[in-house]
Structures are given as structure tokens and as C-alpha cells.
């Protein structure tokens, strides 16, 4: 078997990996700058060589078979290793390419992650970011996530972490609310105020304060309970009550005077924010460059 045949097979494997990640032959064809029949032909040749059907072709979608999914896991690692080998050889340095699956909380992603991406894509035009958002913590391995943004203390030893930043939590309300209800001057005053409560399911998240050298938890009660940070922000702006929120969520409104910070002397210690990814695995170059870029971008923005 000659070298050209080996390279054809590597290219076909790369196309199959991209097919799984993109979900359609047409998307892969556009990305590679070749015709869709050429992509299908190479995948077909790979299937014949392996003696297994990797893809079910229907008129509406591409369905990866069980054999295809099993092959994909190894094929993705092979492509990563091949790309790393190419990029390490002198003049043949290659730009990272491929899909990075990132998970973040909706509000933090919109306000703090997405605005940084234009500079990343300018440096790494061949990398695609597949951004999923959720308030819950996803299973990185089970959900096929390369990189996740986690807020708070880390307890999962199966993950490797890089500190991205840290954030203050502030007690806040709008001037309109404070004009109508007055401002609390001590922690006990919160019992007389309307609170905007963050909760998951029926579990209300307690607010945290530093009183002297002691951390005090306060369970808020109010008319609006939500598990969405964007609604917390909107509710404060509407004058619905007082809330405790991460500074990044309402930083612009605090600077403009639309939201005021209350009881700053009782502000708790800052909460860390990390990038996490599965431990014990070689980190693909496309993931590594995104991690390094985000850590650097956050460092320079603080």
C-alpha cells in the first residue's frame, strides 16, 4: 500500500469525524471546499475498507450507526494525534482545526464569553465552537463536552481546571425600588424587603454575607422566584425587589447607576470561575488554544 493510499484513508477518517461533528454531508463539503458527492464517496470507501456501515443516509438527516459511534471515538483521537504530530514538525506547523464543544451558563456565556470570541476566530479561523448553555452542570464525558465554565468551588476530581477569573457577589436594587421601600442598613432589615430569589426547582439559593469574621447564610423570600439569571437582572431593573447576584451579571447597570449596590461592608468573599475539562486525556490542540486564549483574555480584562 503506497503513501498516497494511507493519506487518502487519513483524509477519509478526518471527513468522517467532521461528519459526526457537523451532522451533514453538505456542511462538511462546504467546510472542506469540495463537492458533497466527493465527501460521500470517501466515506463510502472508508466503510468498505472497514467492512462496516458507519452512516445511515436518509433524505433528512445523517444517522451515525453504533459501529460508527464506536469508530468515531477512536478516529477523533487519531485525528487529534495526527494534527499534533504535523504541527510539531518544524515548518509544517498547522493551524488548529475542528470543533470544540463548550458548555456555560446562559447569562455568563452571553455577557462574558461570546464578546471575546471575535479575537479568537481571527487567530484560529479553522476552529468551530459549538456552544451549549444550561444552568445545570453537565456530564462532560457523557455529554461529549470538551470544555465547561464552572462557578464556585470545585469538587469533581475527574476534571482538570484552569482558573478563569473570580467574581464578587453583590446585594443590589434599582433606585426606583429604593425610593419606594428605602434601603436596608443592616442584614436584619432584609426581612422587611421584597427579595428576588434564584432557585433551582424548589431549592432556594441562600444569600451569603460576611458579618465580622463569620459567614452568614440568609434565605431570601419574595414574590419572584426564578432559575434564570437573565430574569434576575430584568426583575431588579424593573424595581421588583432586592437580589444578590454575581457582579458580572449587573456590572454595566451598576456603572451606569441603573442598579445600586447595598450593604457593601457585608459583601462575601469572591467566588472563583474555572474552565474545566476531563482529566487523564491528551488535550487536543484546538481545545488547548481556546483555553489559553480565554484565560489570557479574562486576565487582561480584569
pLDDT interval class at 238 (50, 70, 90): very high
Do 54 and 65 sit in the same domain of this protein?
A: yes
More confident: 219 or 6: 219
pTM: 0.70
CB 147 within 8 A of CB 292: no
Between the two ends of the chain, the Cα-to-Cα distance in Å is 56
d(CA 150, CA 163): 10
d(CA 143, CA 101): 10
pLDDT at 232 over 60: yes
pLDDT in tens, 19-34: 887 677 877 777 677 8
d(CA 171, CA 236): 11
Main-chain dihedrals φ then ψ at residue 50, nearest 5 degrees = -80, -20
pLDDT at 86 over 70: no
β-pair partners for 148: 103, 276
pLDDT at 236: 96
Do 252 and 173 sit in the same domain of this protein?
A: yes
Report the greatest alpha carbon distance in the chain.
82
Do 61 and 104 sit in the same domain of this protein?
A: no
Give the residue among 159, 156, 149, 169 at the shortest CA–CA distance from 295: 149
Do 106 and 179 sit in the same domain of this protein?
A: no
d(CA 273, CA 81): 30
pLDDT at 234: 96
CB 106 within 8 A of CB 134: yes
pLDDT at 302 over 80: no
Question: Helical H runs in 88-173?
Answer: 106-108, 117-123
d(CA 209, CA 149): 24
Main-chain dihedrals φ then ψ at residue 122, nearest 5 degrees = -65, -35
Residue that is written with C-alpha cell 468515531 in the block: 72
pLDDT at 90 over 70: no
Do 289 and 160 sit in the same domain of this protein?
A: yes
In this prediction, what percent of the chain has a pLDDT beyond 70?
91
pLDDT at 83 over 80: no
Do 203 and 276 sit in the same domain of this protein?
A: no
pLDDT at 23: 72
Of 65, 92, 119, the one marking the end of a domain is: 92
Do 103 and 85 sit in the same domain of this protein?
A: no
DSSP string, 228-280: -HHHHHHHHHTT--BEEEEHHHHHHHHHHTSSEEE-GGGPPPPEEEEEEEETT
> What average pLDDT score do residues 93-120 get?
88
- How many domains are contained in the chain? 3
Ranges 73-82, 183-192, 239-248: which has the least confidence: 73-82
pLDDT at 239: 95
Average pLDDT taken over every residue of the chain: 86
Which residue range(s) make up the domain with 287? 98-164+272-301
β-pair partners for 245: 170
pLDDT at 35: 83
DSSP string, 72-108: HHHHHHHHHHHHHHHHTSGGG-----EEEEEEE-HHH
d(CA 208, CA 291): 30
pLDDT interval class at 2 (50, 70, 90): very low
pLDDT in tens, 163-209: 999 999 999 999 999 999 999 999 999 999 999 999 887 788 899 99
pLDDT in tens, 159-174: 889 999 999 999 999 9
pLDDT at 1: 45
Do 66 and 215 sit in the same domain of this protein?
A: no
pLDDT in tens, 34-74: 888 888 888 888 889 888 888 887 666 778 888 888 888 88
Do 127 and 217 sit in the same domain of this protein?
A: no
Amino acid at each position: 500500500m503506497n503513501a498516497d493510499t494511507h493519506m487518502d484513508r487519513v483524509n477519509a477518517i478526518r471527513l468522517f469525524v467532521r461528519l459526526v461533528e457537523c451532522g451533514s454531508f453538505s456542511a462538511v463539503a462546504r467546510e472542506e471546499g469540495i463537492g458533497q458527492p466527493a465527501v460521500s464517496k470517501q466515506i463510502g470507501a472508508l466503510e468498505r475498507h472497514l467492512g462496516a456501515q458507519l452512516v445511515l443516509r436518509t433524505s433528512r438527516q445523517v444517522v451515525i450507526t453504533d459501529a460508527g459511534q464506536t469508530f468515531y471515538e477512536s478516529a477523533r483521537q487519531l485525528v487529534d494525534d495526527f494534527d499534533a504530530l504535523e504541527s510539531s514538525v518544524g515548518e509544517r506547523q498547522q493551524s488548529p482545526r475542528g470543533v470544540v464543544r463548550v458548555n456555560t451558563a446562559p447569562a455568563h456565556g452571553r455577557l462574558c464569553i461570546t464578546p471575546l470570541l471575535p479575537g479568537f476566530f481571527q487567530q484560529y479561523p479553522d476552529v468551530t465552537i459549538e456552544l451549549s448553555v444550561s444552568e445545570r452542570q453537565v456530564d462532560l464525558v457523557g455529554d461529549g463536552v470538551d470544555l465547561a465554565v464552572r462557578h464556585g468551588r470545585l469538587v469533581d476530581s475527574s476534571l482538570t481546571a484552569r482558573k478563569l477569573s473570580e467574581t464578587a457577589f453583590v446585594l443590589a436594587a434599582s433606585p426606583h425600588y429604593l425610593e419606594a421601600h428605602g434601603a436596608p442598613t443592616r442584614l436584619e432589615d432584609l426581612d422587611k424587603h421584597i427579595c428576588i430569589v434564584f432557585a433551582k426547582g424548589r431549592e432556594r439559593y441562600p444569600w451569603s454575607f460576611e458579618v465580622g469574621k463569620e459567614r452568614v447564610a440568609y434565605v431570601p423570600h419574595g414574590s419572584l422566584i426564578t432559575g434564570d439569571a437573565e430574569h434576575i437582572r430584568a426583575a431588579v431593573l424593573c424595581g421588583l425587589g432586592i437580589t444578590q447576584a454575581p457582579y458580572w451579571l449587573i456590572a454595566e447597570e451598576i456603572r451606569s447607576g441603573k442598579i445600586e449596590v447595598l450593604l457593601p461592608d457585608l459583601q462575601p468573599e469572591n467566588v472563583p470561575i474555572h474552565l474545566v475539562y476531563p482529566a487523564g486525556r491528551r488535550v487536543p490542540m484546538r481545545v488547548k488554544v481556546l483555553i489559553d486564549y480565554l484565560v489570557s483574555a479574562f486576565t487582561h480584562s480584569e
